[in-house]
Structure 1
């Protein structure tokens, strides 16, 4: 059944009624504060992010403010604009005196006739239906005031409201304990994952493996030769770099050939779309000489650029269309999690040359060059089919040389140290999306070891991180089940099935009658008071007569 239809169905419960929200309250919208009006002192301005998280920073307003835009502790607020599923909803303000920002209603009502906590929960129960009817799209939507006020709300007798609130709080308290435990476990997994990555790229994860394979060049073990004086040693980073440089030169020549073909195709297509970028000649190797003491013998810290056969190159973001075409462009959300999601794409009405570097190929590494500071620099290994997608302008693409394993590199780029390196170098005007450029990404320090050890590190990480992923998936599943249970509780609460009904309670219809009568009386009184403050207008006719009298005198 459609959620919106279900919410607006008449409730067949004894002594309940189903009024419009506008019948029982007033919704006061917030003020539009200009950024030039923000201050560092004064009343905190309540924005939607301040309702979602107590840790969100405030802007302040230090000028005179009308009372209708002020919020006091305990006021009921409703965020009516934002991202469906995250921003919308009712909140009881727990802070001090504050200023109400746009996109938030302050809900004014008679708290002696409607339980505030009941009202808050009932509004949140109705949010899903409101979102279905909201204006806007998947990314951003808003509920108009008229639709908000027309939405119907289940209203039981006042005493039953109190009983429902008490029961909801009792049940939700148990659920909240479970949520807290699950979230703690998830944070512990994150800490373990980062600790695992840190040890991996400090050489600690493979310390015993190096001892066991000290006489092996390419990763095959030899019990007889491992400890013998004449046995070959694992390839050092210097030896590997020399080989990578040869691979980069060979790959560059191949890229020049592909580029020449791509340009020819582009010209044959009347130069539609972005011209194929000329591949860059491999730059000299850049070795980071600092902090060598924290690496095992034979390892070396080099710039990411030294390990690349291609890139970094920005993508392209042409205008999307609704109709399916032969060209799919992934969106930023396809890689935000660090894992490639091939369901996040849009169609574009531009044919891309088959030799264009915009096409993604297996084991390409994508890096978010522009996003919120939390996600800027997120690396992701492309796992889709070759030439199935192109990538957007807010991503950069790189390809590693054959002797630098792509999974090894992308795992290293996911460490706290690497992420902080990129975040600290992101640039952008205040309030804008922070970005990193190709030079910053190219300079990222990467600990380099032999190919055999890269393979071993990748093997260990794959095994242990897959266990972390399974645990994380289990936690997410349990959180979804708890949220589903929470919704079931609310559904029972607002259909009269959660607590016993009492025939001695005043019927909600009588309660609603008193609310509407008092509301109408208050509106009439306010209208009279407003009219009394108006200055009387002089009639034009009287003004004309007065002028005539002056002329005749």
Structure 2
């Protein structure tokens, strides 16, 4: 029955249709489903305990299981609820994720589902597990990626495409049961291994945090201090005094050079205009080891700059621009880069120096404050506007500041000082400058950073091993499913009824269901949502206050929208706010936006 599909439908198909086992058939999902339909949009966020859970794309994991860490609740709709045995297919997502599929268990019975999901109601003679595993296998193998429709920032697979263009290799009913039993048995073994690997990852992450805390509190180098207490020469206090003295001298020299360049005589009292750095606020901070002292970022910094807000491109012959997504686990990730031309007007001022600290000033509340240290990679590198770079004095190792900010102590400080607007958190340069961080003597800094580096290396090796183990587990799952849907996982029984008989059974079940009267549901007028390119367009079309999240939706910001698009909209939001073109007000748990209209008086 491969002739029922177009040649295009069979491209990138991971199974051999022409060599299917005896008793198997090639058919369409539309022919083996009692009903296929998408759900409905959730509207305003509702994360309290009212209503029913509303499953969205993020609630289907890469392993095909339901994840409820982030869940919205909505008022139920009788015609759009899930039943045990339903198959839920993710119809809209990024090209890499569209097509994830899960099986609805009794735990999710009665849940609602998003318009980005398609519900397949499976007849009694077909194994729901078989269909769910099959569709998820098509996603794992990359078939859905090649057969989706690409839009701006996302991709989709329509109900018609899923129902009529996706080939389904259907096994006889008895063989389906045996296959699912075997798949579940093998997957259960893999699940145990995955559970152990993820547990190891959590423990390694906890150990990393424990290590950072012991480092910045001084306990990591306690034995070193004991061994060196009789020969130590300079304390942190002496070091800070030396740094501050040098800082002022450099400022005076810079000002004198400016006066000389302009052929001016320094005015009376010009030295009194020296900008004193912010003092550290040590309120509530723990006592430091002997020889350490609290210092502010500004006291230790030579320079502090915001990154470029210029539009970047994909031309890799230019200068790479680090963005907030390039800071991962305290390190810089040089994948997924954007670029600026080599002759960009902000260069060389916004080129990074070896040892510059990069601080993520704007992000979600969970991610704001991500910090890493840039080390020279042999070519110029710049950074985007949501990052702040800090160049420190030569007597302070930037890793000390990065480790403190990334530790639980730094996260506590971030939670206290961040401000939140329209779902984004911000910590500006002034707040960063006044952050109090521990300053040990230079010799102890070197020992401490070396110790952490060695320990982190060992942690990273173990994490890489767990990541490899998880990838191998995913590959094994894919191989198991491919073996199953190729008819190689369980032996065929020549006495089994052919799968073609199932189509007649499904037809009879459909006819019986059609005779059951449907409950009348009052029609509600549909609200049309126009997609727009910019936030300004959305706000111009509104006469009154509009919820920020609703405005973002109209700009195409939905579940798992690309980071680039999110950054673009939030950058526009900041510009509109800075230029006083919009008002932002807090309304309960949400931010609302409104365009400021200017009255023009006609002469």
TM class by smaller structure = 0.7 to 0.9
1:193-214 alpha-carbon deviations (Å, 9 max, x no partner): 1111111111111112112212
1:349, distance to aligned residue in structure 2 (A): 5.2
Partner of 2:217: 202
126, 129, 136: which one pairs with 2:138?
A: 126
Kindly name which structure, 1 or 2, has the bigger radius of gyration based on alpha carbons: 1
Cα distance change, pair 164–429 in 1 and its aligned pair in 2 (3 A): same
- Structure 2 counterparts to residues 70-81 of structure 1, below 5 A: 70-81=81-92
User: How far apart in 1 are the matches of 2:361 and 2:488?
Assistant: 52
Secondary structure of the residue aligned to 1:154 is strand
CA contact (8 A) 2:23 2:172 kept: yes
User: How far apart in 2 are the matches of 1:84 and 1:464?
Assistant: 38
Q: How many residues align?
A: 490
Partner of 2:12: 5
Partner of 1:241: 240
1:179, distance to aligned residue in structure 2 (A): 0.8
Partner of 1:169: 184
1:100-157 alpha-carbon deviations (Å, 9 max, x no partner): 22211111120x2211111111110011211233233796433233332221122111
Instruction: Return the TM-score normalized by structure 2.
Output: 0.73
Provide structure 2 residue ranges, at least 5 long, that are not aligned to the other structure. 1-8, 260-272, 523-603
- Structure 2 counterparts to residues 436-455 of structure 1, below 5 A: 436-455=427-446
Secondary structure of the residue aligned to 2:220 is coil
1:72-98 alpha-carbon deviations (Å, 9 max, x no partner): 344321222224555741122332422
User: How far apart in 1 are the matches of 2:382 and 2:152?
Assistant: 23
Secondary structure of the residue aligned to 1:153 is strand
Structure 1 window deviating more from structure 2 (496-505 vs 409-418): it is 409-418
- Structure 2 counterparts to residues 369-380 of structure 1, below 5 A: 369-380=361-372
Partner of 1:482: 473
Tell me the C-alpha RMSD between the 2 structures: 3.4
- Structure 2 counterparts to residues 63-462 of structure 1, below 5 A: 66-85=77-96, 88-93=99-104, 94-110=107-123, 112-127=124-139, 128-136=142-150, 140-149=154-163, 150-216=165-231, 233-249=232-248, 283-291=276-284, 294-311=287-304, 313-348=305-340, 351-353=343-345, 355-385=347-377, 388-429=380-421, 432-462=423-453
Partner of 2:580: none
Partner of 1:536: none
Q: Does 1:24 align with 2:24?
A: no
1:504, distance to aligned residue in structure 2 (A): 1.0
User: How far apart in 1 are the matches of 2:249 and 2:327?
Assistant: 30
Provide structure 1 residue ranges, at least 5 long, that are not aligned to the other structure. 217-232, 261-279, 534-553
Secondary structure of the residue aligned to 1:393 is coil
Secondary structure of the residue aligned to 1:329 is strand
CA contact (8 A) 2:369 2:427 kept: yes
Q: Does 1:58 align with 2:50?
A: no
User: How far apart in 2 are the matches of 1:210 and 1:77?
Assistant: 60
CA contact (8 A) 1:4 1:130 kept: no
CA contact (8 A) 1:422 1:444 kept: no
Instruction: Return the TM-score normalized by structure 1.
Output: 0.80
1:499-548 alpha-carbon deviations (Å, 9 max, x no partner): 111111111123234435654x479869x999xx9xxxxxxxxxxxxxxx
Secondary structure of the residue aligned to 1:102 is coil
Partner of 2:3: none
40, 44, 54: which one pairs with 1:45?
A: 54
Partner of 2:554: none
1:259, distance to aligned residue in structure 2 (A): 12
CA contact (8 A) 1:370 1:433 kept: yes
Cα distance change, pair 502–310 in 1 and its aligned pair in 2 (3 A): same
User: How far apart in 1 are the matches of 2:504 and 2:216?
Assistant: 71
